Structure 1
Amino acid sequence: MMCTADIGYSMFACVIMSYKNKSWNERSRRLITLVFGLFLGFVLIFGESRWETSPLIEESLMLLGCIGASIGAFGRIWCSLYIAGYKNARLVMDGPYGMCRNPLYFFSFIGGVGVACATETMTIPLIVLVAFAVYYPLIIKREQKRLTELFGEEYSRYCDEVPAFFPRWRRVSQPETYTVNPKVFTHNFIDALWFIWLIGIFEFVSGLHDSGVLPVWFRLP
């Protein structure tokens, strides 16, 4: 019979092995996202928008947040429909991948800025914009190098025809039928819904501030 320490060690070992089995891009992206998320979480739990007394600005930011988060969630689900089960297996160029080479990152950008606006501050969206501008070009460059190694000339032609990040909407073409891996798609679908769920969490935290359950240590413009 395994003792508690053995079980704990086994679970820890599994986590470490899972982390090691991911690519450098995946590991670094997850780690940076975690650290960035913890920082923003601290800011939102103990901070509050200074626009609480300006309903027009506050509600405008929330509206932008809901629109951006909805577009981001829909876009990621749309992208996941096309790559579910095909990542690294073949070069996907249909649907959103016909309008730009990195639609997942593009819709993540839209959704991320949207969620940041839902904090009803201007500081958090600015931080998110700067973070994307600094970090994601490096990720896209590494991704391009990896895909070039995988698909060679086919990917080079794709790069010549399709922009890297900002979409050309007229290039969207969708097949009549498409086969996907439902298990992978379901996982990606749930991930995309976090854009919506986070807005609900922000509103809940705001309610805790208003009721005095959580202290407000500072106010953000």
Structure 2
Amino acid sequence: MVSIGNFFFKYRNVLFIFLYLALFIPSPHIFTEAKFGSDYYLWPISLGLIITVSGQLIRGLTIGLAYIVRGGQNKKVYAEKLVTEGIFNHCRNPLYVGNILMLLGVGILANSVLFVCILMPLFLFIYQAIVLAEEHFLRNKFGTDFVRYCERVNRWWINWSGIRRTFSGMRFNIRRWILKEYNTQFVWLVGITLILLIYYPQVTSNDNDFRNLLIIVFLTALTAVYLFVRYLKKSGRMVD
């Protein structure tokens, strides 16, 4: 599993691109009009948005409180120090938990059996392998410190006990959240926008012209914000 995890660690960013594109592969529906009535579409929209937004909130809180270098080094697992502050004090892999919830949520939002029942289990297997590879590296580098951390903190399940104390003892770095997350936010929001407006004509009262206008407006606005933040980062006008 460690070797499998090291392999997928190199290509995990490509994996996300594939998964977002897979949201638009034709698939049988989880929620159907035959089973849930004429308002069936409210189920995937409401449930999907709740789950995917929860995932993004977990990612945001994690990065804003205590950032961990996620890119590795030379496409290999790497860490300069053992980060145990912030949300990492309540879960060993809160960023991955956030990613899982974000993807599961958009899969439900897309109402896709293919995505939720086939691609998500595959994604979970790959993530488990990546985490085992990371833990193998951390255990070798940090020894008993990491072992004690593992004994105290869950790998996947977030323990919310003491979370108020964590928040009160740290400052949320909103600039770091913006600079580190703007790529993820952009892709995520574009995906949600396209799913809502393409898959659910009910949202725009089946008015195709209005739907197409909304797609253009939202995508233009999101792209403009993305390019502006990217400019601020690359020019050094905004630093964390």
Q: One fold, TM greater than 0.5?
A: yes
Deviation for aligned residue 1:180: 5.7
Superposition pairs of residues 5-154 of structure 1, within 5 angstroms? 26-41=9-24, 43=25, 49=29, 51=32, 54-84=37-67, 88-154=79-145
Contact kept, 8 Å, 2:58 with 2:98, in 1: the verdict is: yes
Indicate the SS of the match to 1:170. coil
Determine what percentage of the aligned residue pairs are the same residue.
18
Which residue number corresponds to residue 194 of structure 2? Answer: 201
State the secondary structure of the residue aligned to 2:169: coil
Indicate if the aligned counterparts of 1:81 and 1:185 stay in contact, CA closer than 8 A. Answer: yes
| Alpha-carbon distance in 2 for matches of 1:131, 1:59 | 27
| Residue correspondences, number | 188
The counterpart of 1:160, out of the listed 130, 138, 151, is 151
Structure 1 128/63 Cα, relative in aligned 2: closer, same or farther at 3 Å? Answer: farther
Does the aligned pair in 1 maintain the 2:62–2:94 contact within 8 Å? yes
Distance in 2, matches of 1:37 and 1:58, equals 20
Q: 2-side partners of 1:115 and 1:58: how far apart? A: 14
Indicate the larger mover: 27-36 or 137-146. Answer: 27-36
CA 1:79–1:192: 2 relative to 1, 3 Å: farther
Residue 100 of structure 1, CA deviation? 1.1
- What is the CA-CA distance between 1:40 and the residue it aligns to? 3.5
How far off its partner does 1:25 sit?
5.1
Q: CA deviation at 1:127?
A: 2.6
- 2:177 maps to 185
Given the superposition, is the C-alpha separation of residues 181 and 78 from structure 1 closer, same or farther in structure 2, using an over 3 Å criterion?
closer
The Cα shift of 1:66 comes to 0.7
Q: Deviations over 1:9-49 (max 9, x none)?
A: xxxxxxxxxxxxxx8554221233333333444x15xx685
Deviation per CA, 1:155-195, whole angstroms, max 9, x where unpaired? Answer: 1110111111112221533353448694x532332244243
Structure 2, unaligned runs of 5 or more: 1-5, 71-78, 212-240
Q: Is the 8 A contact 1:64 1:114 kept in 2?
A: yes
Contact 1:101/1:165 (CA < 8 Å) preserved in 2? yes
**Cα distance in structure 2, aligned partners of 1:109 and 1:138:** 14
Structure 2 residue matching 1:90: 3-state secondary structure: coil
Higher relative contact order (CA 8 A, sep 6+): 1
**Structure 2: distance between partners of 1:125 and 1:25:** 20
Which sections of structure 1, spanning at least 5 residues, go unmatched? 1-22, 214-221
The residue type equivalent to 1:33 in the other structure is F
What is the CA distance between 1:138 and its match in structure 2? 0.2
Does the residue aligned with 1:174 lie in a helix, a strand or coil?
Answer: helix
- For residue 142 of structure 1, report the CA deviation from its aligned partner: 0.7
Query: Using a 3 Å threshold, how does the CA distance of structure 1 residues 147 and 27 change in structure 2: closer, same or farther?
Result: same
